[in-house]
Amino acid sequence: MDGAVWLLIVIAAVVLAFVGYGMARRARGSIELTLPKTAFEPGEAIRGTFVLHTKKPIEAQRLVVTLTATEVTETTENGKRRSNSRQVFRDELLLDDARAYAAETRETREFEIVVPNPEPPEAPASPVGRAALSAIKAISRSKTRLRWRLEVRLVAKGIDLVTSKQVSVNLKSL
């Protein structure tokens, strides 16, 4: 067989693995997350609800709500675009420790997790220092952004049940 046939076989195997994993997760249950709003200010509480529905019995290790911020930096060098990301913030709210969920369990839960309120750095006293700080902020805003995500996860033996939503945090007010 030539390389193209092997490539198609590998691609088909990867697609089937993803489809199988998704089907196995849905067969265990689901989590449906509801947020009244998705834009927040620093220090504000994110309030929401979720419905946990198990279709099969699940031995859970924990149930958590997690708020994360990932810094995404995009650069262009020699005409090639590159993107790097790193997690810069993570807060986890534990809702349940280890617990067994029976088949066909349906629970509606509420939660509240607070957006961080970072202290703004001290502004340089000199006009040159203030100008340099403004230039750095302008450059970093154009190439770097924060991607905020709220996730609800039932960590379980086997396959986790998980859902997430992107939220936005207004850091320009700082």
Output the pTM of the full model: 0.71
The Cα–Cα gap between 138 and 53 comes to 46
11, pLDDT greater than 80: no
156 three-class SS: strand
Q: Which domains does the chain have, with CATH numbers?
A: 29-116+124-169 (2.60.40.640)
Asked whether 27 and 56 are in contact (CB, 8 A), the reply is: yes
Q: Which residues contact 24 (CB under 8 A, 6 or more apart)?
A: 159
Q: How confident is the model at residue 154 (pLDDT cuts 50, 70, 90)?
A: very high
* 76 bridge partner residues: 81
Mean residue pLDDT of the chain comes to 82
The dihedral through the CA atoms of 139, 77, 149, 70 has a sign that is negative
32, pLDDT greater than 60: yes
Residues 90-111: pLDDT tens digits?
999 999 999 999 999 999 999 9
* Average pLDDT for 132-156: 73
Rounded to 5 degrees, what angle do the CA atoms 35, 41, 43 make?
A: 100
